[in-house]
Amino acid sequence: MRMVIKLINLMRIAGKGVDKFNKQQQTPLHLAVKLDFLPAVDILIKSGASINAVDCTGSSSIHMAVQGRSTKCLQMLLERCQEAELNTRNFDGLTPLHTAVDNGDLEQVELLLKYGAEIDVTDGKSGRTCLFHAAESNEKPMVELLLRHGANPDVPNYAGVTTAMAAQGRNL
């Protein structure tokens, strides 16, 4: 841990900032999040690391915490970084909320919604909402959670199909 602190301080002293990136465009914060290394995440946030920087896949630190299923890391990022852009799509067209829904992670979905993720945001490839993703996967608890939070079952995807239409034959 001391080595991480020393490296961060050296970067700041040299005027380089803490958002330098590697060949995959990953910043130190990205790597700390991927490793679920909470002390390093904490120090990097305090040192001004950009939570909204994206890597070569278009994923932000929030995306990475959700992809890695690190709820503690996600919570730390959300609590300490009010500037977090929660509705940004990665290059697969997914927001962090879409990914949390696809992972079936009710706790992460609750967290993202609590901190302002847009519930009816559509993915970039097919125009499906998070509710549509949950219904397609027959994730009844997730569908119920999203509906409790006000998800609209009548938002059409790019083909004009709504979640309500898609869910008719799925016993949801």
For residue 112, the tally of other CB atoms under 10 A from its CB is: 28
User: In this predicted model, what pLDDT tens digit does every residue of 102-135 receive, in sequence order?
Assistant: 999 999 999 999 999 999 999 999 999 999 999 9
pLDDT at site 96 = 98
Considering the domain boundaries, does residue 151 fall inside one?
A: no
Residue 85 has pLDDT above 90, yes or no: yes
| Type of residue numbered 91 | F
Tell whether 83 is covered by a domain: yes
pLDDT (tens digit, 9 = 90+) per residue, 30-83?
Answer: 999 999 999 999 989 988 899 999 999 999 999 999 999 999 999 999 999 888
| Calpha distance 131→136 (Å, rounded) | 9
CATH number of the domain within which 16 lies: 1.25.40.20
**Tokens coding 91:** 């290059």
Whether 111 is in a domain gets the answer no
- The answer on pLDDT for 167 being more than 90 is no
Structure tokens at 111: 């967290």
Task: Report yes or no on 74 lying in a domain.
Answer: yes
**How many separate domains does the chain show?**
1
**Do the domain assignments include residue 104?**
no
Is residue 16 in some structural domain? Answer: yes
Whether pLDDT at 16 is above 90: no
Residue 89 and residue 60: Cα distance in Å, rounded? 9
Which range marks the domain in which residue 17 is found? 1-92
